[in-house]
Amino acid sequence: MLMKTLKIIKIGGNIIDDPKALDDFLYHFSTIEGPKILVHGGGKLATKLAEQMNIKVQMTDGRRITDPQTLDLITMVYAGKINKNIVTTLQKNACNALGFTGADGNTILSVKRPVKDIDYGFVGDVVKVNTTVLESLLAQHITPVFCAITHSTEGQLLNTNADTIAAELAIGFAQQYQTELYYCFEKNGVLINVENDDSVIEHLTKETYQDLLSQQIIVNGMLPKLNNCFYAIDHQVHKVCLGKPAMLYKQNSKFTTIQAS
């Protein structure tokens, strides 16, 4: 029997921080047929508010160190303001949506990242996705909207990478659906030349990826994103696409696709 397709779509700060871009994206997202899940990061708002409240912003290799004050702040921003603004805009566009952290419905369980070279504080690494509640919502044509917060069994909220949450959701549903994972960001996809947005690698394989790594063509922020992509492919996700949001709705858009070989 042909499996139904489920799209898991992740958006980042380049969309969240631009009200017009976010409004346009959510309009087009609402028109996507079939079951779908939206995952969003936090954008720059948490950092801006932290500075206004004299809460020290600590970053290491682009990742936020999450002390107790920072956790309180990002929970308010991610799970509150950003998540609810997205949900209410989807309702305006006739897309019935429900906002989630990983704690809601016990959907995403994490553990606090162990201290090795760096103490990241209250940062979570995903250990389990529970799909039962989400399956029921999808069957009722309700769209879950996840922010980058999960929880532990000890009643602790945890700051969790949104790219990872999207990948783990796609993996969690891979037995019930043909899952497709979309990472929407500011580039047209994985680029041979980061200065040339037309130099898109339209089909990326593990072999090509290893070649690009050895040539140091792929570095910095793309590395964890692509590691998530191949991790998802290795765990039965049907395909992963990376590019600008237009790849979801505009024909002839350039973007990168990764599929199991």
d(CA 178, CA 161): 23
Q: What distance, in Å, lies between the first and last C-alpha atoms of the chain? A: 22
Q: Among 183, 215, 182, 207, which residue's Cα sits nearest to residue 261? A: 207
Tokens standing for residue 194: 């980061």
List binding-site positions. Answer: 42-43, 64, 159
d(CA 261, CA 252): 24
d(CA 67, CA 236): 35
Q: Could you please report the per-residue DSSP string of 172-230?
A: HTTTTSEEEEEEE-SSSSSBSSTT-TT-B-SB--HHHHHHHHHTT-S-TTHHHHHHHHH
List binding-site positions for substrate. Answer: 42-43, 64, 159
